Amino acid sequence: MSVPDRQWWMFCLFPAITMSLGWGLRGFIGGGPLGAMIPGALVAMALSMLLGRDASSSGLIAAFGAIGIGFGGEMTYGQTVGFIIKPETYAWGLAGLTLKGAVWGLLGGAVLGTALVERRFTRTRIAMALASIIAGTYAGWKWINQPKLLYFSDPVNKPRAEIWAGLLLGALLFLACLRLAGDARIPAGFALAGFIGGGIGFGLGGTLMTLGMHQPYLQRWNPWWKIMEVVFGFCFGLGLGMFAWRRRQELAAGEPVEAAARAPRIWLLIGGAAVVVVDLFLVESNVKLRYSYVVAGVLVLAALQVVRSLTWQLAVTATYCFAAIDSVNYYSRVRKLGDPTVGWGLAIATSLLLASLLALRQRQAKPLLRWSYLWLTWACVAISWIKLLLHPDPVIGVPVEIAFTLAALLLTWISAGTRAGRALVGAAAACLSIPGRWP
């Protein structure tokens, strides 16, 4: 199906459902910026499929989406959510949550949008714009967040260090730097779409969570925090998809694409994937800097403009690896279920397997986009099921996992468009006695 033939509702629902599932998984199998790479990578791949982008450009788009939307994971919002469940602090908490969701969408949308039109800028200009994110993040954090001039966390009970003003200024400087180089309307448009969708999503999700938490008899089977997350993801993805629909002709056919060079040897691709994983993981986890992921992410994105063959390894292998590592940490530290060696072994082995399969497909010039999207989706769903089984009361999470699985089945059908995908959805519908047929 050509891009002009795709219906507007497909541009709305496919990214929205994708990001809703990705955000639900992020909140279950990996928080922070590393976990936020899940919805970032998936929604970038969904947009690439809708726009008919080739493997070379969609790999960079997926990498920029993963890191760019991961930037927002630096923000803390747990205590902000705590404000909205109390009547006396509801308005303040809602304002803070809406603002943080909008900032998340602004920076994530700007970085993702830049990848969609990266040929309009030189590599030096994009590198300079990325560096301005670090400068802006530092300035906003130093001037506003650190002195708590506008503070949306608890100032008394274990106050958290906020970073939202830093990311806001970083996003604005990033867009300004691109604008000085020429036409930055596409990145600015995606930034605005993310700003509106993210703000509405976090605010609306927080409101629904507050209403639900005042119904105690529904608590066991209705995880309201999870509802907040999936509503945020849905609205965020909806905003990005709507803007992509408006500019679909320009985004699909208006970008000249260089001929893809032959991928390096498999062992080089796997080694490069390991370097990316170690860089992001060690810097984000061990460097004593409030915005350590921003620094590491900017360096990785700048390098990937030169080493294009590693973009898929970042978007897929690194994102999966961080989800697997989080589950191992849960297994060994939280549940204390014995020696973590087995868990770490499985995480490393499966990550190497994925890196190898991905590298092999690159070497053989096989299609990567849908394969990567489906692999990452189902791998993360599988990890979430495994983590649920380790929970002391796994029954609580069964409705959520069923919802994840059904969403993944629907997305499989939409993205793959194959008989196998339709068979999977049909089998799930028959087992659950769902009447009617899928659209």
pLDDT of residue 418: 45
Q: Percentage of the chain with pLDDT > 70?
A: 79
pLDDT digits (tens, 9 = 90+) for 171-198: 999 999 999 987 899 999 999 999 999 9
Delimit the domains of the chain by residue range.
3-431
pLDDT at 225: 77
- With 0-12 / 13-18 / 19 or more C-beta atoms within 10 angstroms meaning exposed / middle / buried, residue 98 is buried
Residue pLDDT, tens place only, 115-151: 999 989 999 999 999 999 999 999 999 999 999 999 9
- pLDDT of the residue at 10: 87
Under 8 Å between Cβ of 294 and 74: yes
- 360-397 residues labelled b (16+ CB within 10 A) or e (exposed): ebbeeeeebbbbbbbbbbebbbbbbbbbbeeeeeeeeb
Q: Tell the burial category of 419 from Cβ atoms under 10 Å away from its Cβ (0-12, 13-18, 19+).
A: exposed
Distance separating alpha carbons of residues 210 and 84, to the nearest angstrom: 7
Question: Mean pLDDT, to the nearest integer, of 321-346?
Answer: 71
CA distance linking residue 424 with residue 160, whole number of Å:
45
Q: What is the pTM of this model?
A: 0.89
The confidence score (pLDDT) of residue 392 equals 67
DSSP type of residue 246: H
Whole-number Å distance between alpha carbons of 171 and 107: 5
User: What pLDDT does 304 receive?
Assistant: 86
For residues 377, 378, 379, 380, the Cα torsion angle rounded to the nearest 10 degrees is 60
d(CA 145, CA 138): 10
Tally helices (H) and strands (E) across the chain: 18, 0
